[in-house]
Amino acid sequence: MKTKHMVVLLGLGLLISSPLFAHHGNSNFDIDKKLNMKATVTEWVWANPHCWLKFDAADDKGNVAHWIAETSNPADMTNLGWSRQVLRPGDHVTVTLQPVKNGAPIGRVMQVVLANGQTLGTRIPGVFGPEVDAPKPADSSK
């Protein structure tokens, strides 16, 4: 009986939270807004259907927000130069993202600049503008 209740509660929780993590749409994101922030990585989740970057960033008043931002799937990310090991907790990075419209600390990664200056971009349809373009995949014909 307890198991059945847990399954029902878990199902309800997923149903309620699913609009927040809806796939392949721009409706939750403020596509006209880009945030650029210095951040400290707390977790890099390498998983399907999307990888997730979790990080802490301080606002102008010094208040720290705990952010979570999606990227594409591991196969796409690998083609763009990312890897499971590219980010580690404690890494200092600069993150450019599109935030969600409701102001929550949630977004979609456009690019990450590592401490060594390396820039990693993403390939999410409709995200890139003239100043943030997806890096070209390496030429494998050589």
% of the chain with per-residue pLDDT over 70: 69
Q: Tokens 């373009």 — which residue?
A: 133
pLDDT for the residue numbered 31: 87
Check whether 12 has a pLDDT greater than 60: no
Check whether 62 has a pLDDT greater than 70: yes
What are the residue ranges spanned by the domains of the chain? 25-121
What's the CATH fold of domain 25-121?
OB fold (Dihydrolipoamide Acetyltransferase, E2P) (2.40.50)
Q: Looking at per-residue confidence, does 128 or 31 come out higher? A: 31
Q: Tokens 């951040």 — which residue?
A: 39
- Which of helix, strand or coil describes residue 19? coil
Q: Considering only 10-14, 53-57, 81-85, 87-91, which range has the smallest mean pLDDT?
A: 10-14
Check whether 71 has a pLDDT greater than 50: yes
pLDDT tier, 123 (very low <50, low <70, confident <90, very high otherwise): confident
pLDDT for the residue numbered 140: 47
Residues 25/108, Cβ–Cβ less than 8 Å: no
Check whether 98 has a pLDDT greater than 50: yes
pLDDT for the residue numbered 136: 47
Rounded mean pLDDT of the chain?
81
Check whether 129 has a pLDDT greater than 50: no
Task: Report the DSSP pairing between strands 106-113 and 64-70.
Answer: parallel
Longest Cα separation, the chain: 62
Tokens at residue 123, please? 């390939």
pLDDT for the residue numbered 43: 98
Q: For the residues 100-119, what does the mean pLDDT come to?
A: 95
Distances (CA, A) of 83 to 1, 46, 61, 113: 43, 8, 34, 14
